[in-house]
Structures are given as structure tokens and as C-alpha cells.
Amino acid sequence: MKKLLFLSLILILFNCENEISNNTPAFEARINDNFDWVADSYSATFQNNQLSLTGNSPFGTIALQIDSLEVGSYNLYSWTDDFAVFQDTLQYSTRNDGITSIAFLSDGHVDINEIDSVNNTVSGHFHFDAYNGTGEYTINISEGVFYKIPVNSGSQD
């Protein structure tokens, strides 16, 4: 019996991985491939035909803005209306590009995978590379997930 318990414990310990959690709802991402960022609070607002998703944690804020509330894929570049921002001690945005070369452009992608009109929630994935306002510093946000975030509809102006 002790051997079985010991083997079970070993299997459990070796099968544990450092993964983004499975919270519902959730707004999570990986920063610079070494830090799992998890929002303590989040919101989604659809107003004036724009979807704004925001997640906040003590380690920074991620904001996504998309000109649609439809299932689909949306590119994030400095020249598109859709964009992403990460704010900690600096503000990084896909609206900014690097200053060194044309090869240093902000980019990213948001996939809206599900719009639940019954429960009024939105779910999807995202990733982006963004620069600060001077173009000197960059940040990589990967493995981003927003899952079952309640959508508030603002008044149309």
C-alpha cells in the first residue's frame, strides 16, 4: 500500500506543469515567455462598434481593442484600427514600432472564438509584440486567453 501511495505521489509531482490556469471567466497571458500574468479583474465593453477588453493585475494591464464583436481573426499592427496595449511601468502598444529598422514592427493577432449571446460573454486567444512610445523597448505577450468575459454594451453615440 505504501508503494502504491508513493508511486501515485511521484506521478502527480512529475505530471504537474506550469500552465496557465483554467479559471472561468479568465483573462491570462504569458509575458516575455517567462512570467504567467493572470488578471485579478477584467472587463469587456462593446460600444460604438468597438470591443474593448481589459484585464488588470498588480503586474500590469492588458487592453485589446477590436472594431467588431464577431467571431473571427483580427491583426494588430501600427497601421490598423485594432490594437493592443500592455501597461506596467512603461506603456507598450502595437500602435508603436521600433526605431532601429523596418524589421522591428509591432504585430499581433486576436482570435474571437466564441460569442455567447445567451450569457453575453466573449472568448478567444491573443498574442502581440509591442513597443513603448520611444520605440526603444519591446514586450512579447503570448499564449493570451480571454474566456467567458461578460460583455457590457454601452450606449451608441
Q: Report, as an integer, the average pLDDT of 35-62.
A: 96
Query: Would the CA dihedral through 122, 76, 128, 53 be positive or negative?
Result: negative
Residue 23 has pLDDT above 90, yes or no: no
Confidence of residue 24 (pLDDT cuts 50, 70, 90): confident
* Integer Cα distance of 34 and 123 in angstroms: 24
How does the average pLDDT of the chain come out, rounded? 85
Secondary structure of the chain as H, E, C letters = CHHHHHHHHHHHHHHCCCCCCCCCCEEEEEECCCEEEECCEEEEEEECCEEEEEEEECCEEEEEEECCCCCEEEEECCCCCCEEEEECCCEEECCCCCCCCCCCCCEEEEEEEEEECCCCEEEEEEEEEEEECCCCCEEEEEEEEEEEEEEEECCCC
Q: Is there a contact between 89 and 131 (Cβ–Cβ < 8 Å)?
A: no
- pLDDT, residue 15, reads 38
Q: What is the mean pLDDT of residues 76-105?
A: 90
The model's pLDDT over 94-140, given as tens digits with 9 standing for 90+, comes to 999 998 766 688 999 999 999 999 999 999 999 999 999 999 999 99
> What pLDDT sits at residue 16?
39
Q: What is the mean pLDDT of residues 77-99?
A: 94
Mean pLDDT lowest among 6-20, 50-64, 70-84, 100-114: 6-20
pTM listed for this prediction? 0.81
In the predicted structure, residue 62 carries a pLDDT above the cut 50? yes
Beta bridge partners of 131: 93, 138
Quote the pLDDT of residue 13: 35
